[in-house]
Amino acid sequence: MPTSTPHLSSDSDWLGFRRARRAAAAPFFITGLLFASYFVQIPSLKLALDLSEGRLGVFLALPIVSGLIAMQLTGRLVGRFGSGPLVRVTTLALSLALLAFALVRDQVTFGLVLLVFGAVDGLIDIAMNAHAVAVERARHRPVMNSCHAAWSIGAAVGSLLGGAAINAGLSLAQHFVLVAALALLVALITGRHLLPAHADRNALRRRSVARASSWTGWNSRILLLGAAGVLVFVLSGVVGSWSGVFLHEDLGASLSIAALGYICFSLCEAGARLLGDRLHERLGSSTLVRISGLIAVIGLSIVVFSPVPGSAIAGFAILGLGLSVLIPVILSAAGHDGAGAEAANAAAALSKVGTLTYSGQILGPMAVGWFAEAFELRQTFAGLALLFAATLIITLKRCFPDSIRHQRN
């Protein structure tokens, strides 16, 4: 049975929670804003550096690789300094890293800037999720879904600002200066409301984390949560990379109609995340994952059996609703599990799950392409639906004890 809203002793408690929630969401907004701004300028960078499609693909893999490496360090850094202070530093650093693209004059500097940009993103990605877990533990209320919704909102704002800057004839440097200034302003305003270092772990555990090996803490729960996260990212990547191809080539949609698959998916995903924390609080993580997973499987099944573009687009939209809360809930479960462990903190657990899910984001669309070439897209989607359902059923049995509701009881 869902539990009631926890009693808050005064208006200051409500104010404190709202400030903590906004502060926890701010780095997600900033990251989405900065990355969308970078994405919209990739064609300009490709043209300026005279890059072929193949060479550009190699360059675009660099920030992913450096991000994965940096993730392995984040657990120790959070254990030593706390997630709040690390988020403050990395949000400022990521804004400055965006400005470094204005210094790119050749392919060597482009590669170096991408490596730095990706490494800082790897640090902030784990640190801001660890901080969101710390806020959930301190306030006994879920915030992870609204944080990930803030990323989607930041990405939308960044895309719109990028399009406006290009249409206005601004140079890449002018565009990035304006975006970085906005990001720095948000970071400075909200940074003072981030939780202090001791909110993550006590001093004894911080010392144990500092001594722990990067291999410490791998267990069946982490692997199962990572596997579920991999498939969520694979499905999201499939929609982004292959929904238009499926709608156009398999179902005969025009190119403009084919684009609606990803658009509807993204809108439903972002919108559902705005309600995700309320649903998480009311239903608990286990029930929410069951319902969301079922919705996602239904959506993908509609796509598989669709004879016309309209129903397939609806299926992609339903898939977006189902997948929307899963990554936030998976990361929240990993973080709470790590925060309660003896030798690892939330950031250490999140870095491991993040490494796995990040890898899925890289490999998923490519693997789907291989299978689609052998079995066609419709059959590949059907196989993904079965694999996703099986993985989620196994993960549910081991990894979702409704940690937040348990704390409140």
For the chain, which residues make up each domain, given as ranges? 17-203, 217-401
Closest to 314 in 3D by CA, of 372, 251, 356, 364: 251
Average pLDDT of 366-382? Answer: 82
Residue 50 φ/ψ region, left for φ over 0, alpha for ψ in the -120 to 50 degree band, beta for the rest: left
17-203: in CATH 1.20.1250.20: yes
pLDDT of residue 90: 94
pLDDT of residue 395: 84
Average pLDDT of 176-180? Answer: 95
Q: Is 17-203's fold the same as 217-401's?
A: yes
CA–CA separation, 253 vs 311, rounded Å?
12
pLDDT of residue 200: 65
Q: How confident is the model at residue 306 (pLDDT cuts 50, 70, 90)?
A: very high
Domain boundaries 217-401, corresponding CATH code:
1.20.1250.20
Q: How confident is the model at residue 93 (pLDDT cuts 50, 70, 90)?
A: very high
pLDDT of 357 over the 50 cut: yes
pLDDT of residue 53: 67
DSSP assigned state of 102: G
pLDDT digits (tens, 9 = 90+) for 20-79: 778 889 999 999 899 888 887 887 888 889 888 678 777 877 888 898 888 888 878 887
| 32 CB burial (10 A radius; 0-12, 13-18, 19+) | buried
